[in-house]
Structure 1
């Protein structure tokens, strides 16, 4: 995620797009520019009068309004997914703090459970982060117990197993009379929030924008851009080429940015700072429990 000052206009105006967006945008703009140039030079070479091409300026203006509404909805939908992901991770930060603070109030200062919980709560956050990407790498977790490491290696859903271990350890505190039933109920609520928040992130990750809608808007953009040179030729002549490129740049950029932020848990420049958030949780656990 990019940290920036929204008041620095010049810096934002001249800032380049992310590499992922540019890799898709530049070839598309090059193709559109060549296509527009072919239409203009072809009309000139064949001595075609601009009036031989039907003027569709009004039609394109009306379609542009409709397309703009679609793109606004598309961008808002993508941003809603991004913001929901941020709220879920904010909830995870708060729930881990609450759980640690409640444990800190009841665990003896010299208890070995403090270190265990500090590590495993941190591991839960890290495993959720990696689970939402391409899978959990055991080497990124801080686990001293070899038996737990072996168990995790055989589990497909590693955050679930870590959550189960947290439940088991909390229950053992109750059975050994370290905490009361009242404490157990309070701690259980926070652990439930861990799982609920993880499930919310999985819902965002595994439920993309409906295929039909995505397919339709891409077709709409394609048809609109491809027909622009024919509609603009009569009015702009050779200036049709830069005009079409400018319109295409705006439309394609909005769509590509929406594509990038609709899946907010990756490592792209506009994705959520889940690395920093998981490190924040880890630092909080050490400060509270150790």
Structure 2
């Protein structure tokens, strides 16, 4: 996630320079052709076209931002649920006999959120699974298609083991289980966002219409702007191409790009809180790198 107040111009240029360069070349071709060949540029209703396109792109950018914000809200719920799980575990399992189980459940939650982060970003989860779990604990989860869900299922079994050992009663078990349900619901919402793209109409037609408008723009402006057409048309086209790029950037909040929801930073927040709850040393928070918080 970009945290700079003003985006870096180099980053903006890196995202739009290809279509912008093609647009500038086309503008130059139209301008030269207008002065070399005896033809009259047609009068085009560019204001009408531009207004309709702006509304279309606005709806698309709003839909993309809603997906991004929903991803951030779901991870906020995950942070709260992880803290609640750690607090309930420490409160319900204070006895020395249950101390190992208390520690195992909290470390499993740290592993779970980091594995979920890797799954959403389509990264390998093996290192995160093995960071806090022993090979015997990691094997059942790694054998599952959804590794994060396998870790959470194992946590549920350990809570039931605590109930079977009479370390907690059924009411306390139900309380912890409700927290696990909240965690599962948050994961399901994240997977829905990741696996369900915007409808094809929202992705194809805005791109098509924006490119068509950029092609028609210099033809409609050349008679008015003359030799300034390449500059004026390119600047106007940049506005529409930038809005189009914004929609593309925000549509997947877990794409592991600079526009991503900062999953690494939020997982680190959970890890710090839960390790400190155990009394263990915790790593420092994630800080922005060149204006980007990962």
Q: How high is the TM-score relative to the length of structure 2?
A: 0.89
Secondary structure (helix, strand or coil) at the match of 2:132 reads coil
Query: Which runs of structure 2 are paired with 1:74-113 in the superposition (5 Å)?
Result: 74-108=60-94, 110=96, 111-113=99-101
Query: Which runs of structure 2 are paired with 1:1-290 in the superposition (5 Å)?
Result: 1-5=1-5, 12=6, 15-16=8-9, 18=11, 22-46=13-37, 48=38, 52-56=40-44, 59-108=45-94, 110=96, 111-141=99-129, 142-290=131-279
Bigger RCO of structures 1 and 2 (CA < 8 A, at least 6 apart): 1
Out of 254-263 and 148-157, give the one that drifted further. Answer: 148-157
Q: How high is the TM-score relative to the length of structure 1?
A: 0.91
Aligned residue in 1 for 2:292:
none
CA distance in 1, matches of 2:169, 2:124: 35
> How many equivalent pairs are there?
276
Aligned residue in 1 for 2:291:
none
- Displacement of 1:264 in angstroms is 0.8
- Cα gap change, 1:220/1:231 in structure 2, threshold over 3 Å: closer, same or farther? same
CA distance in 1, matches of 2:135, 2:48: 66
Structure 2: segments with no counterpart, 5+ residues: 280-294
- Cα gap change, 1:288/1:109 in structure 2, threshold over 3 Å: closer, same or farther? farther
On the 8 A contact 2:31/2:227 being kept in 1, the answer is yes
Structure 1: segments with no counterpart, 5+ residues: 6-11
After superposition, the C-alpha distances for 1:233-270 in whole angstroms (9 at most, x for unaligned) are: 11111111111100111111111121111111132112
Aligned-pair RMSD on alpha carbons? 1.6
